[in-house]
Structure 1
Amino acid sequence: MASPEGLRPLSPATGQFRCGIGPFKAMLRWVEWGPPDGMPVVCVHGLTRNGRDFDALAMRLAARGRRVICPDVFGRGNSDWLPDGKLYNVPTYALAFQAFLAHLPKPYDWVGTSMGGLIGMAVGAVPGISPRRIVLNDVGPFLPARALGRIAAYLALRHDFATLEEVETHLRLVHAAFGELPDAAWRHMAETSSRRTPEGRLVMHYDPAIAAPVLGAPVVDVDLWPVWRALGQPVLVIRGAESDLLDEATAAAMAAREATRLTVFPRCGHAPALIDADQTGAVADFLS
């Protein structure tokens, strides 16, 4: 996958950290780019995604001397699955990340897409571990029930595939709102979003139990404005112009806060993929 600034797409380094989750321990694993002594940026993905979604952004930030850490949240990618599906929720993730962030050199920045943005809001007001700056990619402190219902319907589906081409076709359909991506980006997504079962089939690279909290709860509006008001650092809010999760009214209310910048990208919904040069450039400039 070509870098926006011409950096060769070398394989990233990897890391892991064992986190406490209630009475359990689970390994958080990540890929990272850039110099080990660079100022860290933690990039956290959406509900069914993984840390490789940030490869293009990470290479751009690494070219500017940043150390970019892209975790797989528990139950996704290479991180451990949790023993109880009810543990797959933002408060659990935020508490687990606190131990990881306590060991991370300061200052650092946070980039969060959708669920990753909610985790960023949760840790953003915690003294001693809060990031210097936060990027919220198409998520905010009000989550409309209609968008959550769409997500719940998607999570209720079960898929397996015979070929990588079938995986790519599926991703192009369910993530069409990511916007107009080049063929190479969709193929990269298929390669990094699937795993092969012992039976030889391909499935999405996450624990099906991540759906448990979503499918087990009534679909209602979620109000997180008190969490938003607790943030003190500068925030970049990114919105896809056609997004159903971050609506125009919520984005405008967020932009009214001092030290908040709102950037809206056309021809995409939930959520901008942070792959093309305009999107990665907006993030890089805000964090520079």
Structure 2
Amino acid sequence: MPMSERRVLGLSALGFHAIAYTQWGRDDAPRTVVCMHGLTRNGRDFDHLALDLADAYRVVCPDVVGRGRSDRLANPDLYGYPQYLADAAALIARLDVESVDWIGTSMGGLVGLMLAAQPKSPIRRLVINDVGPFLPKAALERIAGYVGKDPVFDDIRGVEAYLRLVLMGFGRLSDEEWRHMAEHGARRLPDGRFALAYDPGIGKAFTAQPLADVDLWPLWDRITCPVLVLRGADSDLLLPETAVEMTRRGPKARLVEVPHCGHAPSLMKPEQIAAVRGFLLER
């Protein structure tokens, strides 16, 4: 399937910034799906899923501003959901379609939730991967323990070892899958060493004020499109009771629990990909 690297401009209070995205499939595909990654990751996390979907979809996988190949913001105070939503709207406009399906892991799932809750939303079907309208303080504190740090590694093996530790919730990945995440989740420094491929400034949101539980239920209750929720069986961010409540109110989501995963399922495994594909292609 054809794969290309593209860019679109987003706008912040300080001017324009480039948002890089990977596109799989044909421009004239009958459907378009946007896949948005988690807090510290990038669009190449979806390569396995995108390759599977590209026979039926144009699959668009952006690097959220401050991550991957996208520009960084000069003022880290601007990293946050208002900016991410504005950039998502710019990307959808670039795609020139009336509606899109949305797959979001963690932060990307929250962006999808917020978009789907808006009047006249272009979101047709929504897949939320291991996040929900209630975010417990304890899980946010765990994330705050590593996000925003700027470790340096001698080689790509060091990056991989680090990711295996902080992202162990992704599940039982193969050596090849971990290496894929490391190669696309690192940037080479001028001295030949490696750093993570995100702006440490994205962590400022976790230190700007004391962390507390986050309640987004009013937004959830406004969603009307079909929703699939994936939950890692050992997740600390999407609690079991939250996931069940998501099936009972608002869009009354379909829930699939993924064994041997915490936060968040990688969407690299065949059974996870099959669950997403089956939901998106339902008539």
Q: Does residue 155 in structure 1 map to residue 147 in structure 2?
A: yes
3-state SS of paired residue (2:70): coil
User: What are the residue-to-residue correspondences of 1:209-288 with 2, within 5 Å?
Assistant: 209-257=201-249, 258-288=251-281
3-state secondary structure, aligned to 1:155: coil
**Once superposed, what is the RMSD of the aligned Cα atoms?**
1.3
Which letter does structure 2 place at the counterpart of 1:171?
L
The percentage of aligned residue pairs carrying the same residue is: 47
Consecutive unaligned residues of structure 1, counting only runs of 5 or more, are: 1-9
Q: Deviations over 1:96-133 (max 9, x none)?
A: 22232234312210000000011111111334442100
The answer to whether the 8 Å contact 1:102/1:129 transfers is no
- Dislocated runs of 4+, deviation >2 Å: 125-130
Which position in structure 2 is the counterpart of 1:18?
9
Match of 2:132 in 1: 140
Asked if residue 51 in structure 1 is aligned to residue 43 in structure 2, the reply is yes
Give the letter aligned to residue 248 of structure 2. A
2 CA distance for matches of 1:151 and 1:199? 29
Aligned partner of 1:244: which letter? D
Query: Does 1:72 pair with 2:48?
Result: no
SS in structure 2 at match of 1:243: coil
Code of the aligned partner of 1:54:
F
Q: Is the Cα contact below 8 Å between 1:91 and 1:122 reproduced in 2?
A: no
SS at match of 2:67: coil
Question: Which residue is equivalent to 1:188?
Answer: 180
Q: Take 2:216 and 2:119, find their aligned partners in 1: how far apart are those partners?
A: 19
Residues 119-176 of structure 1 deviation map (CA, whole Å, 9 limit, x = unaligned): 1111113344421000000000000000000000112533110111111111111111
Aligned length: 278
The residue that corresponds to 1:125 in the other structure is 117
Give the gaps of 5 or more residues in structure 2: none
Shift of 1:216: 1.7
Aligned mates of 2:14, 2:67 — CA distance in 1: 20
Normalising by structure 1, we get a TM-score of 0.93
What SS does structure 1 have at the residue aligned with 2:23? strand
In structure 2, what residue type is equivalent to 1:206?
Y
Please name the residue that 2:83 is paired with: 92
CA distance in 1, matches of 2:246, 2:185: 32
Contact 2:233 2:259 in 1 (8 A): yes
Task: Pick closer, same or farther for the CA change 1:204–1:163 going to 2, 3 Å.
Answer: same
Say whether the 8 Å CA contact 2:2–2:25 is kept in structure 1: no
The one of 95, 105, 123 equivalent to 1:113 is 105
TM-score normalized with structure 2 length? 0.95
Q: Residues 184 and 11 of structure 1: is their aligned pair in 2 closer, same or farther, counting only changes over 3 Å?
A: farther
Letter in 2 for 1:173: L
1:171-210 alpha-carbon deviations (Å, 9 max, x no partner) = 1111111000111100111110000111221000011111
